[in-house]
């Protein structure tokens, strides 16, 4: 940004300046410029503008009006990550299917979304109780709170002061393409498929993604169990209770 220009002859009061016009004439050195050019200020002729190139009119014109796109010089910039969110920070999800759950932040993806997760482990008792709410990104019910590898917008999370050591967790292979849905080509339905449309096919998670989840869970679970009461803290759901003032909470 260019510096703000200020006058060398400021007004003392409205209409009265610090020095007179003749004094400013000598102060600016205008007399020397006129003396060098024979008593006249130098005059420079404007350069002649280049003649516009004649464009050949089109042979055909569109029947409808064609909208010309506006000039857009906006360049995409990486999303700035909040200072309170660093790798290993425990976050509280505020919206969506896992609202109120505490998760561990792993890294920020190219799209600006946050990669989060909490360890999972199979429990036979929870399998019967929670079989209808299992996430499609894990292999069985979750030991802590059931949040698999997910992408979350940082606008919908609260960063806490609790940290988890994730130095042993490798998340290099996870990017936005990893979470992209596989779009299958639509097949032409016959009479049989039309009457069986009510039967919804169950989408099974690929075995490769199940192994990826386990590879992330193993070192993360060891880091969580090394800190007293951290496992219980991650498993507890956050919610406002009677008498709690949101503006006075410290996370």
Dump pLDDT digits (tens) for 76-88.
Answer: 888 899 999 999 9
Q: Whose CA is closest to 147, among 110, 180, 100, 108?
A: 100
- The top-level CATH class assigned to 89-178+206-248 is mainly beta
Please say whether the beta carbons of 147 and 103 come within 8 A: yes
Q: H-type helices in the chain, by residue range?
A: 21-27, 30-36, 124-129, 191-195, 207-225, 230-235
Tabulate helix, strand, coil % of the chain (nearest 5).
25, 10, 65
Q: Say what the pLDDT of residue 196 is.
A: 65
Residue 210 phi, psi dihedral angles, 5° rounding: -65, -40
Please say whether the beta carbons of 158 and 138 come within 8 A: no
d(CA 105, CA 114): 7
Angle at CA of residue 169, ends 166 and 170, nearest 5° = 135
Kindly calculate the radius of gyration of the chain based on its CA atoms and give it in whole angstroms.
Answer: 34
Q: Against a cut of 0.75, is the pTM above it?
A: no
Average pLDDT, the chain: 81
Ranges of the chain whose pLDDT falls below 50: 121-142
Q: Say what the pLDDT of residue 193 is.
A: 66
d(CA 126, CA 24): 88
DSSP-derived letter for residue 127 is H
- What is the length of the chain? 251
Residue 92 phi, psi dihedral angles, 5° rounding: -110, 120
């Amino acid at each position: 940004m260019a510096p703000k220009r200020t006058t060398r002859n400021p007004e003392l009061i409205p209409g009265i300046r610090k020095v007179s016009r003749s004094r400013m004439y000598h102060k600016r050195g205008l007399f020397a410029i006129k003396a060098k050019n024979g008593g006249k200020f130098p005059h420079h002729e404007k350069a002649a503008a280049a003649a516009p190139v004649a464009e050949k009119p089109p042979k055909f014109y569109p029947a409808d009006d064609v909208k010309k796109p506006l000039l857009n010089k906006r360049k995409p910039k990486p999303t700035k990550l909040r200072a309170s969110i660093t790798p290993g920070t425990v976050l509280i999800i505020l919206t969506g299917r896992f609202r109120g759950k505490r998760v561990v932040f792993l890294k920020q993806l190219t799209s600006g979304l946050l990669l989060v997760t909490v360890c999972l482990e199979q429990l036979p008792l929870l399998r019967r109780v929670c079989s209808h709410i299992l996430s499609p990104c894990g292999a069985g019910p979750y030991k802590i709170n059931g949040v698999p590898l997910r992408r979350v917008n940082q606008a919908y999370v609260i960063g806490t002061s609790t940290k988890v050591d994730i130095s042993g967790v490798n998340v290099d292979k996870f990017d936005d393409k990893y979470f992209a849905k596989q779009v299958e080509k639509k097949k032409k339905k016959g009479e049989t498929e039309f009457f069986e449309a009510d039967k919804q096919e169950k989408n099974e998670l690929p075995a490769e993604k199940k192994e990826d989840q386990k590879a992330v869970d193993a070192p993360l679970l060891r880091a969580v169990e090394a800190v007293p009461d951290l496992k219980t803290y991650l498993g507890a759901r956050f919610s406002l209770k009677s008498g709690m003032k949101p503006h006075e909470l410290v996370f």
